Chains A and B, each alone.
Chain A
Amino acid sequence: MKKEEINLEKLPKENVFKIPDNYFENLSEKIASRVSEDSKVISLRKWSPKYTLLAIAASSAIAVMGFFWVNSQQDKNENVALSGVSQQEIVNYLIQENMSQSEVTEHFENTNLLKIKDTDLLDNLKVSDKEILQSVDLESVEEEI
């Protein structure tokens, strides 16, 4: 059977697509309401120099507050760390760190924290009498005498 020729120009142009009732009336309203929502959003987003100054002031205040907070935390930590250390341990530490005995005693006498005898310091040094004698320059002693 011979196939029939199709000529598009001879076909009636029919719209096969349908729409819900009153669709275009509702569409205008939907678009109008979206446009008014959009206008509100735009007005909220508008930036001005006033906002820039406020933003700078707010961030500066946060930075200053942050600085003081970090400092106070550090002081607190130091106090907490030292509170668990006995005074004797502090004395030992300072001696080990090559502070002179006189500096140590002077400090503790001034602060009235500890009464230390000279013999205590020698005991802490754990140096024998023999070693002390060896280290003393005899000649200079004689000169002193």
Chain B
Amino acid sequence: MPEIKLSDAEILTKFSVDETKNFAFNQLVNIYQQKVYWHIRKMVIDHDDADDLTQETFIKAWKNLDNFKGESQLFTWLYRIATNECLNHLAKKKRRFFLPINDITEELSNKIDDSVLISGEEIQLKLQKAVLTLPDKQRLVFNMKYYDEMKYEEIAEITGTSVGALKASYHLAVKKVEEFLKKDTF
């Protein structure tokens, strides 16, 4: 029997009733866990970190879903929670180094070379390293536009930034990445 996928409205209605609350939340997890995980993984690179942060994102969703007013789509709301988790995690990591941003960039870049859970063509690995040289917020915008092919309006909802600023940020990011690849690859 094919699995029935509930709409956002159905999930919210069932979540508000005690008897169907857990069922509705499991549906939410099943529908969105992959999107949320990949969004986080591209930011933190390491699988274990992404696993922890994905769980934290859904625990926060469980605690706060009652307050969700339905003004945005559920996935943009979840992405917003996941994005905050990522940025806080990266900021904590940076504080641990005490020193410039390069240290964490280098650590994540080394993971691309060493992790058994990362593999691909050389150019793709270099592209990931190039993306890592961007500031965290610009990297977020780049990932959502380039890999997830999201609309600027959706990204704007998640990041709370204007569409104009996002367009400028993305074009600048693309330029920087292409420059990095040109300089480093050939």
Contacts and interface: CB of A to CB of B under 8 A. Distances in A.
A38 B47 CA distance: 24
Contact of B47 (A14, A15, A19, A31): A19
A7 interface: yes
Contacts of B45: 17
Given A8-B178, A35-B25, A18 B186 contact: no
Interface residues of B, number: 41
A16 interface: yes
Interface residues of A, number: 26
Interface of B is mostly: helix
Given A17-B41, A17-B117, A35-B22, A30 B124 contact: no
Contacts of A5: 182
A4 B54 contact: no
Contacts, number: 83
A17 B42 contact: yes
B120 A16 contact: yes
A15 B185 CA distance: 19
A16 B128 contact: yes
A118 B182 CA distance: 121
Interface stretch (A20-28, A58-66, A74-82, A124-132): A20-28
Contact of B59 (A3, A7, A16, A38): A38
A38 B117 contact: no
A16 B181 contact: no
Interface of B: 22, 25-26, 29-30, 33-34, 37-38, 41-42, 45, 47, 51, 54-55, 58-59, 62-63, 112, 116-121, 123-125, 127-128, 146-147, 174, 177-178, 181-182, 185-186
